[in-house]
Amino acid sequence: MQYIKNYLFILGLLTIINSCAQISKRDNTMNYNKLTKEEEQVIIYKGTERPFTGKYYNHYEKGIYLCKRCGSALYNSSDKFESECGWPSFDDEIDGAVKRIPDTDGRRIEIVCNNCGAHLGHVFEGEHFTSKNTRHCVNSISLEFISAGSEVEVKTDTAIFAGGCFWGVEYFFQKETGVLSTEVGYIGGKTLNPTYKEVCNHNSGHAEAMKVIFDKGKTNYEKLAKLFFEIHDPTQINRQGPDIGDQYRSEIFYVNKEQKEITEKLINTLKNKGFNVVTKITKATTFWKAEDYHQQYYEHKGSKPYCHAYTKRF
């Protein structure tokens, strides 16, 4: 009898584990398009379609090329060119849409969708096909195309936020739906191409900031600005938690009039709620990318921010 009980217990446990695994699998892909086995072989398992066979190899209609897996905008047709390599070639990508990583072969640089990690192909430089001297060699099967005359329109936009240590700000925005890419850096100072040391020594006047590229079809500036005000304390002057200094100031660098107006509206809303907001609103100037070891810091470290946390304010 005890043997039967143990057997039933183990059987039930395995059923639960299997169910959890299936749920987890669905959660990880529920926002992605369903792929065929051929598409999975390339997009998920990093295969390569045969040269000169892809439907977009000799395709030059005006429009935008999207990720087949998640639908994020990747390439403009104006950046497509003929390289006679057998696969679609582009000499540029939509800002923040494509991520470069070392290939497992130790020689090439793989390119993947920055939003979902779908394998696209490889990028090569120094071939002198175009003035940009870059070739994104992409599998057609990894792409979907929307013509310029289509009712579906995909647009990206940029926002720049400074709210304390840029590691923590980036941590939260990386997880937000619609965000295509994040990059930390320096803005708002007087020194050209400042270093982290110069910023920390208060010699440049820059703020630690984060630039985010987002898909306007999946999110909007107001939603991202609200997130900004809810992951840091906008009532602190030149500090955030234990970090003290003018580089840790709360400041939004707007890139257009609409962003300025939305920011002013949100600050007034917070003030009416009783928050003594000190966040500055400044027209964006040159954004200087920070050193590589600062990029996606917490993702690489495998830990969480020490001076940023989410607090609902809206």
Catalytic annotation, residues: 137, 165
Strands of the 134-138 sheet, one edge to the other: 80-81, 89-90, 134-138, 119-125, 109-113, 98-102
Strands 156-163 and 250-254: what pairing?
A: antiparallel
Task: Please give the single-letter amino acid code of residue 203.
Answer: N
Strands 250-254 and 280-283: what pairing?
A: parallel
Counting Cα atoms < 13 Å in the Cβ hemisphere of 202 gives: 6
User: Residue 119 has which token pair?
Assistant: 């394998």
Q: How far apart are CA 86 and CA 82, in angstroms?
A: 9
Strands of the 143-147 sheet, one edge to the other: 73-76, 63-67, 143-147
